[in-house]
Amino acid sequence: MYSAIQTLRRTIFSLTAFGLMIVLVTACSGRSGSSTPPPQAAAPTKPPGATTSQAATAPPAANAGAGTIRIAVVRGAMIDTMRKLATQYMQSHPNVKVNVEEEPEGGAFEALIAAGNQPDLIVTSFGSQIGHLAAGGAILPLEDLPGAADLFARLDKPTVEQLYGHNYYVPVGADVTMMIYNKEIFTQAGLDPNKPPVTWDEFLAAAAKIDQLPAPASGDKIRGTVFWNEALTYGGWYWNVLQPIYLNGNQNQCLLLNRLGTDIVFDKPECNLAAFFDFAQKAQKFAPPTMEKNFFGRGIGMWLQYGYSWEPNLKTAANKPMVIGQDVGVAPVPVPKQGDTAYTTYGGRAYMILKTTPERQNLTWDFVQFLMQDANNLVFLKELGYLPVVTSLKNDPYFQDPARQPFVAALAHAVLPQQFDAADKAAVQVQAVYQAAVVQGQLTPAQAVEQAAQKARAALKTQ
C-alpha cells in the first residue's frame, strides 16, 4: 500500500501547484501576485469544428482539420484511459493523430516549453501549476474559443476560476478530503461505528480510546489516527490535504493569502491558525510518525486525509478488501464545535492547452470538447476515480451509489485551492513550521503562527 501512496505522491495533484511544479504540479497555487496579465495567445485563425453542444448524445465533430497533437498525462492508469479516448476520437477524425505520452518527471514542463517541444494538452491538477504556467504566458486562454461559453456553463461554478482575467483551464473531475474510519476498530474501542466524531473534541476522545486498544497478536499497536507527515517535505500541494482542518477552524473566513495573492492573511486572529496547530498537536499524539503504517493496513482508527480518488486503495487493504459502508465509514472532517459547517478542499484534474500554433491549438480545443462530452467525461471519472464537475453527471446512477454519496454531498462545501505561486510558497513555509510544531513538538501554537508568518512573508519577498 505504501507503494501506492508513493505513486499517489507523483500523480495526485500534478501541482507545481504548491511549489515544485512537482508531482501534482498543480496543487494549490500558481500566480505570481502581479496584477499584470500575461501575454495573450494569438487568436486561432480558424475555429475548430466541434459542435458547441457537449451533451452525451452530441456527435463528434468531423471537420476539426488535420494534423498531430500530443497529450501529456501522469504515469499509470491515466495513460490507458486517455489512449482509449484518443483512439475513439481518431476513429471519427481520420485526419488527426493524437499521441498520448507520459509527462516529464514531477510535471515540470518549463524545459520542454523553452525548447519549443511542449505538448499540446496537459492534464494537470487544481493548484499552482495552473497559475504558474498562466503567469508565464505559456497557456492558451479559452474563454473566446468556439463553444467555450457553453462548456463552462455546464461545469460546477466553484471549480471554474479566472486567472489574470482569463479561463486557462477546463476542470475535468474533482476530489475532496474527508475522514474515513475503521468500523471494526470503533467497535473494539467501544465506540458507535455508525456515529463518527463530528467535533474536534469528539475526534480526539475517539482517537484516545482507539490508541489504548491492545496490539493484536498478528500486528503492531493500533493507533487512533494517522497523518502523512513525510509529505510535508514534498511541496506545498500537501497543504490542500491539511487545509480542511484550517477551513473548519475559521469557518472558511480565510485561506492562506489575500484575494490578490500579494500577502498572507493566516496570521490574522479570525483565521484561527493557532487552533489548527493546537488540534494537530493533540491529534498527532495518537498517530504514528509517518504513513508507513497506514489506514489500509487495518491498524488505524481514523484518517482525515482520505480523498475519493484513493478509493481503489481499499481493494489492496490487508487480508481482504475494505468496503465503504461495511467495514469503512466516511464522514466530513470534524469541526471545532457542534453546528459548525464542515468544509473540504477541492482536489482534481484540469485540461490546459499550451500555446503552439493556431492549427494545433484548434485541433487540441476540438479534442478537449470531445473529452468533455458527458459520456466521455464519465469514462474518465469512473476509470480514474474522480467526482463530477459536469453538473448533469451528479445525477448519473453511478454517483447515486450510497458509497459515493458522502463524497458527492461534500462538494457543496468544497473550497478551491488558491492557484498562485505565492500560495505555494506560503504553504511550504507553513508546512515547515508544522513539522517543528506538530511532528517534533518544539513550538507552541502561537509560536508556530508567528514563525510561519515570518517565513512566508520572507518567501513572498523573493518571488
Q: Which domains does the chain have, with CATH numbers?
A: 2-175+348-415 (3.40.190.10), 176-345+419-461 (3.40.190.10)
Per-residue confidence at 310, pLDDT binned at 50, 70, 90? confident
- Residue 317 confidence (pLDDT): 94
Pairing of strands 67-73, 387-388: unpaired
Set of cell numbers at residue 285: 499524539
| pLDDT surpasses 90 at 213 | yes
Q: Read off the pLDDT of residues 227-247 as tens digits, 9 standing for 90 and up.
A: 999 999 988 888 989 999 999
Closest of 258, 350, 352, 347 to residue 33, by C-alpha: 258
| pLDDT surpasses 50 at 137 | yes
- Residue 271 confidence (pLDDT): 98
| pLDDT surpasses 90 at 31 | no
| pLDDT surpasses 80 at 293 | yes
- Residue 462 confidence (pLDDT): 65
In angstroms and rounded to an integer, the radius of gyration of the C-alpha atoms of the chain is: 22
Distance spanning both ends of the chain, measured CA to CA: 38
Pairing of strands 96-102, 67-73: parallel
| pLDDT surpasses 70 at 299 | yes
Average pLDDT over every residue of 324-334: 95
Q: Read off the pLDDT of residues 430-441 as tens digits, 9 standing for 90 and up.
A: 999 999 999 999
Pairing of strands 121-125, 67-73: parallel
List b or e across 50-74, with b for residues whose CB sees 16 or more CB atoms inside 10 angstroms: bbeebeeebebbeebbeeebbbbbb
* Angle, helices 445-461/421-434, rounded to nearest 10 degrees: 150
pLDDT, greater one: 40 or 239: 239
pLDDT, greater one: 306 or 446: 446
- Residue 106 confidence (pLDDT): 62
Per-residue confidence at 103, pLDDT binned at 50, 70, 90? confident
Average pLDDT over every residue of 222-226: 97
Q: Read off the pLDDT of residues 405-421 as tens digits, 9 standing for 90 and up.
A: 999 999 999 999 998 88
- CA gap 144, 166 in Å, rounded: 9
Q: Is 42 exposed, middle or buried (0-12, 13-18, 19+ CB in 10 A)?
A: exposed
- Residue 13 confidence (pLDDT): 35
- CA gap 143, 337 in Å, rounded: 42
- Residue 125 confidence (pLDDT): 86
- Residue 57 confidence (pLDDT): 34
- CA gap 377, 369 in Å, rounded: 10
Average pLDDT over every residue of 446-460: 97
pLDDT, greater one: 128 or 229: 229
| pLDDT surpasses 80 at 29 | no
Closest of 265, 248, 247 to residue 256, by C-alpha: 265
pLDDT, greater one: 28 or 204: 204
Q: How far is CA 179 from the centre of its chain?
A: 15
Average pLDDT over every residue of 366-393: 96
Helices (H), 162-199: 183-188
| pLDDT surpasses 60 at 22 | no
Closest of 389, 429, 396, 426 to residue 411, by C-alpha: 389
pLDDT, greater one: 197 or 107: 197
Average pLDDT over every residue of 43-55: 31
- Residue 11 confidence (pLDDT): 39
Least confident of 100-109, 269-278, 292-301, 353-362: 100-109
Measured over all CA atoms, what is the biggest interatomic distance in the chain, rounded to whole angstroms?
Answer: 70
Per-residue confidence at 49, pLDDT binned at 50, 70, 90? very low
- Residue 25 confidence (pLDDT): 28
Q: How many CB atoms lie within 10 A of CB 290?
A: 15
**Rounded to whole angstroms, what are the CA distances from 312 to 166, 307, 309?**
35, 11, 7
- CA gap 243, 408 in Å, rounded: 19
Top-ranked range on mean pLDDT: pick from 24-33, 57-66, 71-80? 71-80
pLDDT, greater one: 198 or 9: 198
Percent of the chain whose predicted confidence (pLDDT) is above 90:
68
Average pLDDT over every residue of 388-396: 95
Per-residue confidence at 23, pLDDT binned at 50, 70, 90? very low
Q: Are 28 and 163 in contact (CB under 8 A)?
A: no
Neighbouring residues of 286: CB distance < 8 A, sequence distance ≥ 6: 204, 207, 208, 210, 211, 223, 224, 225
Closest of 37, 39, 59, 40 to residue 50, by C-alpha: 59
- Residue 146 confidence (pLDDT): 97
- CA gap 71, 86 in Å, rounded: 9
User: What angle is formed at CA 309 by the lines to CA 303 and CA 311, rounded to 5 degrees?
Assistant: 65
